[in-house]
Structure 1
Amino acid sequence: MSVNRIGILGAMPEEINGIVSLLKDKQEIVKGMRTYYVGTINDIEVVVVFSRWGKVASATTVTHLIVEFGISQLYFIGVAGSVSLDLAIGDIVVASSLVQHDMDARPIVKQFEIPLLGKVELYPPKELLERSFYEMKKLESSSSLLQLISMEQQENFSISNPKVFLGKIASGDKFFANNNEKESLLKLLPDVLCVEMEGAAVAQVCFEYNIPYVIIRTISDAANESSHVDFKEFVGQVASRFGIAIIKALVK
């Protein structure tokens, strides 16, 4: 597939800062309270932008990337809270499918179904997903991610060997901050690995515009009572560095 311009979304400002530093011939374009950074990485033209938080904000951002900047492919990186016992802080989840956990238009349509699209889950294109997952597994096998953080950071966040998973991600306008919320979600969507606030909305826009996309999340917290503490420190100390490594592995 020919790629003319890649859009790169970061779910946190800290995550795009490092990626912006990779750009050659960088230009800044401010529109709609967002700063879009245009340049090249490995001679590939890219546009990097902070998605802003929540489904509406992120959908607006990716729509602008498609309509105004003409991207032909999208990578979205960010952090997420784990709802699976298999995941640890520092692990990477590549979304094989995405669902909006707060979508509920019953009795018009069934719970989680996107009105008018008739879909509960959205799936990234197979070829791009497989290539992205392969590149992430290479990072895992080489222990490249662990080498990006100090021993102190490894101990603080109990990160010993970041692993890469392929699975379902749930998105919604809600920050999960206790185990009861997490358990309630798992009763309805038992195969979800992690939760965040933007991915499924971005996937919907890409689906409607026929833009290939992949969404990759780094586990920052356990979506429980300590989430707000873990989240803030993890983004600044770990996720920002992991994001650079992820994009370097994908944009080449």
Structure 2
Amino acid sequence: MNTPIRPLGVLAALPQELGDLIAAMQAESGVVTRTFGKRDYHLGTVHGAPCVVTLARVGKVAAAATTSALIHAFDVDAIVFTGVAGGVGENVHVGDVVVGETLLQHDMNAEPLFPRHEIPLLARSRFDADRALADALAAACERFIAEEGDALSAQFGAALPRLANARPGLHRGLVISGDQFVASAAAVGALRALLPDALAV
């Protein structure tokens, strides 16, 4: 008896970040949508892989609640959070791709009871992604850039002059998250000073 393949959970904060994926699922297998906890979970396949795709909405609490549902109600095998991020690393440019290998909450501060960024009672501030999944995502991103990089440069080169002469870059490492919108050079500079290895927020 074959064990069924458990689906991959895919989350995003904004609807625009999932539209193409849901359309691809619809074209490949059709989509079944289930509503659970005021979220729509879209079930289907992409490139033959079963997926559950949903909009987490904005914020760490929303992401945590949606992740819990993916695990407990949909029995996903793994979870990927995808979408637009802000570049923090000095060499991360608009249009580049960042694959998170480690996550830290930059706005967690329970001092003086715990060190800054440490999650109370867990004795750690950095959480590692699944290495095999991060490697597979990075390899897929490398293939995507190799296959689509020139078309992306042509499409967005006028708006992003750097892309007129270079393909998007791929970066792997620390992604940081917080319940605030980072929208100024001063805020990015403060994060760089505090967490110099951070690539994106």
TM, length-normalised to structure 1: 0.71
Does the alignment pair 1:89 with 2:94? yes
The higher relative CO (CA closer than 8 Å, separation ≥ 6) is in 1
Q: Look up the equivalent residue of 1:175 and give its one-letter code.
A: F
TM-aligned CA distance change 1:174 to 1:111, over 3 Å:
same
Q: Does 1:49 align with 2:51?
A: no
1:71 aligned to 2:57? no
Deviation (angstroms), 1:44: 2.3
Cα distance per residue 1:79-133 (max 9 Å; x no partner): 1111222111110001121100000011111000111211111111222222222
CA distance in 2, matches of 1:42, 1:194: 28
Corresponding residue number in structure 2 for 1:58 = 63
CA contact (8 A) 2:17 2:84 kept: no
Pick closer, same or farther for the CA change 1:43–1:135 going to 2, 3 Å: closer
- The structure 2 residue matched to 1:144, chosen from 148, 173, 191, is 148
Kept after mapping to 2: 8 A contact 1:146/1:162: no
When residues 148 and 187 of structure 1 are mapped into structure 2, their CA distance, relative to the original with a 3 A threshold, is closer
> Contact 2:100 / 2:172 at 8 angstroms: preserved in 1?
yes
Q: Percent identity?
A: 31
TM-score normalised by the chain length of structure 2: 0.88
Amino acid at match of 2:125: V
The match for 1:176 is 182
Alignment map for 1:97-246 (pairs within 5 Å): 97-140=102-145, 142-148=146-152, 151=155, 153-158=156-161, 159-160=163-164, 161-195=167-201
d(CA) in 1 for partners of 2:147 and 2:158? 16
Name which of 1, 8, 16 aligns with 2:18.
16
**Contact 1:3/1:73, CA 8 A, preserved across alignment:** no
Residue 146 of structure 1 and its aligned partner are, at CA, apart by: 4.3
Name the SS for the 2:173 alignment partner. Answer: strand
**Distance change >3 Å, CA 43–CA 99, structure 1 → 2:** same
Change (3 A) 1:155 1:9: same
CA distance in 1, matches of 2:22, 2:102: 28
The 1-side partners of 2:153 and 2:42 are apart by 26
Q: In the aligned structure 2, how far is the partner of 1:168 from the partner of 1:146?
A: 27
2: CA distance between counterparts of 1:149 and 1:184?
Answer: 31
Per-residue deviation at 1:154? 2.5
Q: Which amino acid aligns with 1:184?
A: A
What is the identity, as a one-letter code, of the residue corresponding to 1:15? E
The alignment partner of 2:98 has SS state of strand
Structure 1: runs of 5+ lacking an equivalent: 196-252
- Give the CA deviation at 1:42: 2.8
Looking at structure 2, the residues matched to 44 and 143 of structure 1 have their Cα atoms a distance apart, in angstroms, of 21
User: What are the ranges of 5 or more consecutive residues in structure 2 without an aligned counterpart?
Assistant: none
Give the equivalent residue in structure 2 for 1:226: none
| Letter matched to residue 157 of structure 1 | L
Report the 3-state secondary structure (helix = DSSP H, G, I; strand = E; otherwise coil) of the residue aligned with 2:127: coil
Deviation at 1:60, TM superposition (A): 0.8
Q: 1:177, CA displacement in angstroms?
A: 1.4
Q: Which structure is larger by alpha-carbon Rg, 1 or 2?
A: 2
